[in-house]
Amino acid sequence: MIKLVEGGPPVECELTAEQAAVLTATKAVRVSPGPRAGLWRVRDNGYVGAAVIGGVEVRIAPKIPVDRVFFLLGYARRPGGRRQEEVDAGEHPDLLPALAHAYARAADRALRQGVLQGYREVEEALPVVRGRIREADQLRRRYGLPLPVEVRYDDYTVDIAENRLLLAASVRLLRLPGLAVPTRRTLRHVIARLAGVTPPTPGRPAPVWRPSRLNTRYHTALGLAELVLRGASYELDDGTAVRVDGLLVEMWRVFEDFVTVALTEALRPYGGRCDPQDRRHHLDHGERVRLRPDLVRYAAGPDGREVPAGVVDAKYKISTGPDGHNADLYQMLAYCTVLGLDRGHLVYAEGEAEPYRHVVRGAGIEIVRHALDLTLPPAGLLSAVERLAESIAREAPAGFDLRAEVSPRRT
């Protein structure tokens, strides 16, 4: 087992050359040769969580509390919806045991009122008519024989997508190492309650569900189940597939998704329109170098046409020295130049950059660095995002009508 901390120093461990190659190929961690043969230095590569990779168990603890990671993940998926107090991570400092604990409790709580039932469309051959006859299938498969009858009907059953998702997540968690005994006991109880639900098929995609009033009590458990079922396989140079069994989360992507979604929600009262991951802009006239800022805010310009009114880029990174943020400033300068803006905003996780304003020589473009404290409780973190949105909205260019209705421009 290799235990790491996000952003922490490397750990020296004994690995075979094959194990080191597998770990390097998956890019889950960074591996470099140690002081002697067979000894390797391993450090994190932006992921947190736990997984078994090529027979090596790797655990990477996040640098922020685990329940904050759950909040960032959950809010990006359903902004303004379920709040973090519904996800109980217990006292587990590592992501995977905490996720298993939170999921087991949420699933057990969801099933206490009984297993959810719903209608599912079924197509099969029966000796009697039920529902509607599939005439085309009857002629093609039965060649004019009256029985059996190819029918389609709605069946009221427990074998629905929501329950299939819970069952698949429970079964997968029981296969993973490092879970506490009470958590395993609760997972077995959940599986027993889901009798009659189709078990998961290896290699098949996870069931798709849609939130509704009827499955409200399942929402928290289903959101965690989707996290549990995340998995990946990687192919080595020789074509060998390596399965990563566990849960690894890219924190930079989690932070980026949270900032763009939360800022979009917070800027809504100020008018205009926000476009996350806007890909319509290019650096060059030949349109060979595409730009993709995390968030572009649009408003009606002085002539009534939609034009950019603000740009934001989120940066969750480990600094590499005093010049670690220079590339971010160059990137934002390119965004502002192409979008025709005199101000751009960089949003960091607190500790990676402090609030500061850079004014670019000869261009007059101002680049503002902001910092969000991810250790704040959910309410405090959302309040910080609202203050950030207020500062961005207050600095909109003069002459822009942010209250005018703006619709997406065709490209």
Domain definitions of the chain by residue range? 2-114+161-250, 118-157, 271-394
Per residue in 201-253, pLDDT tens?
877 788 888 888 888 889 888 888 887 887 544 444 444 444 556 778 888 88
Quote the pLDDT of residue 329.
93
Quote the pLDDT of residue 89.
52
Contacts of the segment 85-90: beta carbons below 8 A, 24+ positions apart: 85/378, 86/220, 87/220, 87/224
Identify any residues that bridge with 300 across adjacent strands, giving them in sequence order.
306, 401
Extract the tokens encoding 79: 């902004």
Contacts of 326 (CB under 8 A, 6+ apart): none
β-strands 11-14, 132-133 pairing: unpaired
End-to-end CA distance of the chain: 50
Per residue in 250-285, pLDDT tens?
888 889 999 999 999 999 998 888 999 888 899 999
The pTM score is 0.73
Task: Measure the CA–CA gap between 164 and 200, rounded to whole angstroms.
Answer: 7
Tell whether the model's pLDDT for residue 320 goes beyond 60: no
pLDDT confidence of 85, banded at 50, 70, 90? very low
Contacts of 216 (CB under 8 A, 6+ apart): none
Residue range 320-335: mean pLDDT, rounded: 80
Per residue in 11-23, pLDDT tens?
999 999 889 988 9
Please name the fold of domain 271-394. Answer: Trna Endonuclease; Chain: A, domain 1 (3.40.1350)
For the four alpha carbons of 172, 27, 57 and 19, in that order, the dihedral sign comes to positive
